Amino acid sequence: MSGNRWWHVVVLGAVLLVGALVAVTATAEPWMTPAALALLAAFAVFYAVVGRRGLDEERWRLPLAVALLVTVAVGTAFSPNMAVLQCIAFPLLWLLLPSPRMGRPIVACTVLSVATAVGFFVCFGGGIDALMQAVVIEGVSLGLGVGIGVWFTLALRKGDENTRLLAELTAAQDQLAALHREAGAGAERERLALDLHDTIAQNLTSVVMLAQRGRNRAHSAMQAGPAAQADPDAQAGPAVQPDPAVQADPAVQADFALIEEVAREALTETRALVAASAPVPVDGGLVHALERLVTAFERETRIRIATRFEEVGPLPRDREVVLLRSAQEALANVRKHSGAEHARLTLVHAGAGSERRLVLTVQDDGRGIADDVTPSSGFGLEGMRQRLALVGGTLRVTGVVGGGTELVASIAAAEPAGQGESGT
């Protein structure tokens, strides 16, 4: 059963217990017992019909508190046993009238005690003895009601605070784990970049050079055969027998040319992977890191990049790294797939207030992208999408009218301190 249902059981039990006590206990006047029972029954009906909503609905809290206070105070004037209802009245007032500094429930408990003391005074027939009994009984009741209420309220607030801190700690641990995974992935990418540069890239360079040398030798051998036949002096000397496989078929040169072409393409792909995985420091801010990335990219590819950077102000390092990696991956795709001569990279703000976002856009004038390509179509784009998702970002890749591709990465951002532009 829920907590509120238990309260319904407690209220019902208290009403039945007090009703039994009132029924078996004599009162000063015969009519007081029926009056007390009628008042108790009226409260029970009110609670069953609408009063119980006060445990769930804001608008019924005050009516339930008033009905409870009137029932206890007026009922005590008819029968002192009605004061037993205070055992549920005090905790219900704390539940129905919460406040940050506990002022409202303390005032409500004080009003209940004073009103009940007046009821006792009337029930006991007045006089100094009745007053002393009422003051003592309600003084003890008020002290216990307020003391227990304050204790429970502080304990509940401490529990709520601990729950909140635990939730924050869990969220911080999840974020830290995600950052550790990203840092580990970054370190692994850097290691693979070095390995690719030191092994595969070097071997592919050697293959290109060997293919060039083989093609040159084949060409020289094919030139040497006819020249020897046309030169009488060469015929007088010892016979030179060129390799028939080299001299007889010009397709050998074509094979060497194809080997060189394939090796060059593989070398270009490898260098693009190395460039995309290589570390780019974000010291000095994200804008400076993007400027260094653009400068290096232009130097290596001869592709001209126009830039526009708004001042983003301080950002959490994980967001800076995500945006920088997104720019690296986007430029690597421009290098490998676009065949573009020009590109544009911008970092601007969009939206306002809590909806303000930081938008990174990379656009090229290359061959474009197929209509069915989505961010999950390639490992690089999928990795970019996952990194952006870790910081609540999004990724969009679309074709540009007239040719080219546009990649847009967006994350939430704080209000910028100012704006500026730079162009390349």
If you average pLDDT over residues 240-257, what whole number do you get? 59
Identify the three-state secondary structure at position 314: coil
Sign (positive or negative) of CA dihedral 46, 5, 146, 138: positive
pLDDT for residue 213: 77
Question: Quick check: 26 pLDDT over 70?
Answer: yes
Whether the CB-CB separation of 45 and 3 falls below 8 Å is answered with no
Mean pLDDT lowest among 113-117, 246-250, 307-311:
246-250
Return the higher-pLDDT residue of 160 and 375. Answer: 160
Identify the three-state secondary structure at position 241: coil
pLDDT for residue 410: 92
- Give the pLDDT confidence of 9-24 residue by residue, as tens digits: 999 999 999 999 988 8
pLDDT for residue 360: 93
Categorize the per-residue pLDDT at 3 as very low, low, confident or very high, splitting at 50, 70 and 90. low
Closest-CA residue to 408 (of 319, 345, 328) = 345
Question: Quick check: 390 pLDDT over 60?
Answer: yes
Categorize the per-residue pLDDT at 246 as very low, low, confident or very high, splitting at 50, 70 and 90. very low
Question: Quick check: 248 pLDDT over 50?
Answer: no
Return the higher-pLDDT residue of 278 and 210. Answer: 210
Question: Quick check: 123 pLDDT over 70?
Answer: yes
State the helix-helix crossing angle for 251-277 and 127-195, rounded to 10 degrees: 150
Mean pLDDT lowest among 174-183, 266-275, 291-300:
266-275
Buried b (16+ CB within 10 A) or exposed e, 148-162: ebeeebeeeeeeeee
pLDDT for residue 151: 92
Residues 6+ apart with CB under 8 A from 69: 89, 93, 108, 111, 112, 115
pLDDT for residue 156: 87
Question: Quick check: 222 pLDDT over 90?
Answer: no
Cα–Cα distance measured from residue 324 to residue 294, given in angstroms and rounded to the nearest whole number:
11
Closest-CA residue to 318 (of 291, 282, 360, 279) = 282
Cα–Cα distance measured from residue 131 to residue 317, given in angstroms and rounded to the nearest whole number:
71
Q: Which residue has the tokens 């027939």?
A: 125
Closest-CA residue to 90 (of 54, 71, 65) = 65
Q: How far, CA to CA in Å, does 199 sit from each of 43, 70, 193, 271, 292?
A: 88, 89, 10, 12, 26
Cα–Cα distance measured from residue 216 to residue 317, given in angstroms and rounded to the nearest whole number:
53
Mean pLDDT lowest among 146-160, 255-269, 272-286, 313-327:
272-286
Q: Which of the 8 DSSP states describes residue 415?
A: P
Q: Which of the 8 DSSP states describes residue 84?
A: G
State the helix-helix crossing angle for 127-195 and 86-96, rounded to 10 degrees: 40
Cα–Cα distance measured from residue 398 to residue 363, given in angstroms and rounded to the nearest whole number:
10
If you average pLDDT over residues 83-112, what whole number do you get? 91
Residue 102 φ/ψ, nearest 5 degrees: 65, 20
Categorize the per-residue pLDDT at 201 as very low, low, confident or very high, splitting at 50, 70 and 90. low
pTM score over 0.85: no
pLDDT for residue 422: 45
pLDDT for residue 356: 82
Question: Quick check: 184 pLDDT over 80?
Answer: no
- Give the pLDDT confidence of 309-360 residue by residue, as tens digits: 988 777 787 788 888 888 988 888 888 777 888 899 999 988 777 778 899 9
Residue 387 neighbours by CB distance under 10 Å: 23
pLDDT for residue 376: 45
- Give the pLDDT confidence of 352-364 residue by residue, as tens digits: 777 788 999 999 9
Domains and CATH numbers, the chain: 3-125 (no CATH), 280-424 (3.30.565.10)
pLDDT for residue 245: 46
- Give the pLDDT confidence of 401-421 residue by residue, as tens digits: 878 899 999 998 754 444 444
